[in-house]
Amino acid sequence: MPVPKKLEAVAHPGKGAAHPARPQTSDLFERLRLDILHCRLRPGSRLLFKDLRKQYGSGLSPLREALMRLVADGLVALEVNKGFRVAPVSREELIDIANTLFELEAIAIRLAIEKGDDRWEGNIVARFHELSKRSMFTSGGTLDEEWQARNVAFHEALYAACGSPLLLLFCRAVSERYSRYRRLWDQQAEPSRNVAREHEQILSAVIARETDAALSLLKKHRSRTTTGILNHWVEPA
């Protein structure tokens, strides 16, 4: 007679739903992280345990743990004995993040171009293809989430072969924080820009192993997005 297996964790119960299986701390971390990155939790807003507990259906300890990890990731700010807040945003930080992201990616791409093999190239082409199949904005005029994900995947593929796990980790961490800023203001399409073409040019330069050209193109690409965000900036109340 088959013995009942262990319980499978249910992923993301709806916000008000009960919690049949006790949510693991890692789940909680992921959920909070996504809620911050997707700006469902607004920058600077307080994170009250009372509310969080109700919202995420969890006890104090797992919440505290998850928040602590987010503090280390720079997504949550902590003042001792005064509680947690969603990390605030500022023009200065956006600029810092954007510059640092470019510098880190520049290193990684340089290394990847040195070391990358055919498999690496193939992966870039695949990610580019997937990205090109999707349009940047939804019919409603907001940024398409799936496009966002594929965009990140494409950029990561460019330097996946850099050979440094640590560097990849940093790139991802900064890229995440950058994407939060992008989502903050659902920037409208800028007709003067052809993002797909920019991606294609970067792809070509990387595959051709033309490091300087690739980095120059990437820099322009990134800085266009960044100034786009800065132009639509509205001071957070």
Interacting residue ranges for DNA, rule: CB under 7 A: 3, 6-7, 22-25, 46-50, 58-62, 64-65, 78, 80-84
Please identify, among the stretches 82-90, 91-99, 131-139, 191-199, the one whose residues bind a copy of itself according to the rule CB under 8 A: 91-99
Could you tell which of a copy of itself, DNA, none binds residue 200, using a CB distance below 5 to 8 A set by kind? none
Interacting residues of 187 by C-beta distance below 8 A, sequence separation 6+:
143, 228, 229, 232
Counting contacts by CB under 8 A, is residue 91 touching a copy of itself?
A: no
Phi, psi at residue 86, to the nearest 5°? -65, 135
- For a copy of itself (CB under 8 A), the number of binding residues is 26
Positions in 22-41 near a copy of itself (CB under 8 A)? 24-26
82 touches, from DNA, a copy of itself, none (C-beta below 5 to 8 Å by class) = DNA
Contact, 95 vs 216, CB < 8 A?
no
Q: Please, which of residues 45-74 interact with a copy of itself by CB under 8 A?
A: 61, 64-65, 68-69, 71-73
The CA dihedral of 220, 223, 224, 225, to the nearest 10 degrees, is 130
Q: What are phi and psi of 159, to 5 degrees?
A: -125, 20
Site residues (CB under 8 A) for a copy of itself, limited to 166-195: 166-167, 170, 174
Angstrom distance (rounded) from CA 136 to CA 182: 13
Question: CB 90 → a copy of itself: shortest distance, Å?
Answer: 11
Residue 189 interacts with which of a copy of itself, DNA, none, CB < 5 to 8 Å by class: none
Residue 148 is encoded by which pair of tokens?
């966002």
| Contact window for a copy of itself (CB under 8 A) among 9-17, 20-28, 118-126, 207-215 | 20-28
Footprint of a copy of itself on 71-90 (CB under 8 A): 71-73, 80
Which option in a copy of itself, DNA, none does residue 68 bind, with CB closer than 5 to 8 A by kind?
A: a copy of itself
Cite the DSSP H helix spans in the chain: 25-37, 49-56, 60-72, 91-115, 118-132, 145-158, 165-184, 195-207, 211-231
Under 8 Å between Cβ of 236 and 89 = yes
Half-sphere exposure (Cβ direction) of 106: Cα atoms closer than 13 Å: 16
Q: How far apart are CA 185 and CA 113, in angstroms?
A: 34
Q: Which is nearer to a copy of itself, 81 or 192 (CB)?
A: 81
101: tokens are 């992201």
Contacts with a copy of itself, residue ranges (CB under 8 A): 5, 7, 24-26, 61, 64-65, 68-69, 71-73, 80, 96-97, 99-100, 103, 107, 164-167, 170, 174
